[in-house]
Structures are given as C-alpha cells and as structure tokens.
Amino acid sequence: MQELSDHGQIRSKFDRQLIQIQQNVLRMGALVESSFWLAHTALFERNLESALQLALQDKQIDRYYRQIEQDCINAIALQAPVSRDLRWLSAMMQLTRDLERIGDYAENLGEIAVKLFPYPIPTYIARIEMMANRCRAMLALSLVALANMDAEAGFKIKIKDDAVDDDYQDLYNLLSCQKPDSSSSEPIMLSVLAIHHLERMADHATNIGQRVGYVVTGDRS
C-alpha cells in the first residue's frame, strides 16, 4: 500500500510539472503572437517603436525557450515517463523551437521595416500584408490547437499553408518582374526577404499544429 501511495505522489508531482511546462509554452506562444503583431505594425504601419520593442521581446521568448527545453529534459531524465508522456514532452520541446523561430523571424521583419522606412511605400505592400494576415491567422489557430489539445484544428493548419505558399510564389514572381534602379533595388530585395520570412513563419505554425495532432492521436498526418 505504501508503494502505491509513493507512486501516486510521484505521479501527482509529475503531472504538476507537465502542467507547468504547458503553461509556460502557452505564455511563450502569447509572446510570439505579440511579436508577430509588432512586426505587422512595424512593416505595414511604419511604426518604428514597434520595431524597437521586438528585440526586447525576443529576449523574453528566448528565455522561455531555454527554460522549457531544460524542464522537458529534466522531466524525461528524472521521471522515466511512459510512452504517451514522452511523446508529449518531445512534442513540447520541438514546438517551442518552432515558436522560437517564429519570434526570430518577427524580429527580422522589424529590422526590414526600419530599413524600408526611408523609402516610399511600394505599390505591392497590400499584397504582402494579405500574406502576413494569413500567416498570423495560422499562428493564432496553432496556439488555439495547443491550448485545447485539439488535433483536428492542428491538422487543418496544413491546408491553410497552401494559400501562403501560393502568396509567396505570386509575390516572388511579381517582385522578380520589378525593374529596379539605383533607388529602388534595396526595397525590392528587402521585400523578397520579408515574404521569405513570412513563408517560413507559416511553415513553423504548420509544424506546431502537426505536433499537437501527433500528441493527441499518435498520427503524424
């Protein structure tokens, strides 16, 4: 009976650790979503204050990433989790890496916004903003899937990624057809870099959805 009691206490402690990890992942996700919004306002509303905030916020995101990774490693090493728990911990480690990369790309977009600020607003900026809005919606859905452990919502994100890929290809073709002169070559190159970052952000949001689906179902669809 004592052994059963001890086992129950160990399991209860482990469950609290898992809850703490999930809460930190969600806090990190909220910060990443905020960074995406700051990048959006920097790039499309030419708000340089938002661009400056991104660097500070990225440091907070990185701290969460390192803490969550260490907590997951400690839980695996010290608790000898069963297969389902191990799958969950492994997925948390992987998807926090996806969140961290989205935060990095948001910071990069802020830097692009600063470099674009002196130039006139390009005619194609609305097309890029539409792509960015799709990406933000994907990130939001991935975080909802994570918060609710909703496999169906997680797997649906992959379908939305196809529209972002189409946006990327259309914009890349459009930008490639621009005829730059000495004053317009840099904005075109920076815009190409911006859509690349957005496309990668969408890929990482898709990864988060897939990892949530895998945790819940064991299926890597």
Predicted confidence (pLDDT) per residue in 63-105, tens digit: 999 999 999 999 888 776 777 888 899 999 999 999 999 999 9
| Distance spanning both ends of the chain, measured CA to CA | 43
Cβ atoms of residues 117 and 205 within 8 Å: no
Instruction: Region of 45 please: left (phi>0), alpha (psi -120 to 50) or beta.
Output: alpha
Residue 142, domain CATH: 1.20.58.220
User: What is the Cα–Cα distance from 44 to 37, expressed in whole angstroms?
Assistant: 10
- With cut-offs at 50, 70 and 90, classify the pLDDT of residue 3: very low
Q: What's the domain count of the chain?
A: 1
Q: 128-165 pLDDT, tens per residue?
A: 999 999 999 999 999 999 999 999 999 999 999 999 99
Q: Is the pLDDT of residue 13 over 60?
A: yes
- Enter the DSSP assignment of 81: -
Nearest to 195 by CA among 219, 176, 213: 176
The amino acid occupying position 120 is: P
- Percent of the chain past pLDDT 70, that is, above it, reads 92
Give residue 40's domain range.
2-217
pTM for this prediction: 0.91
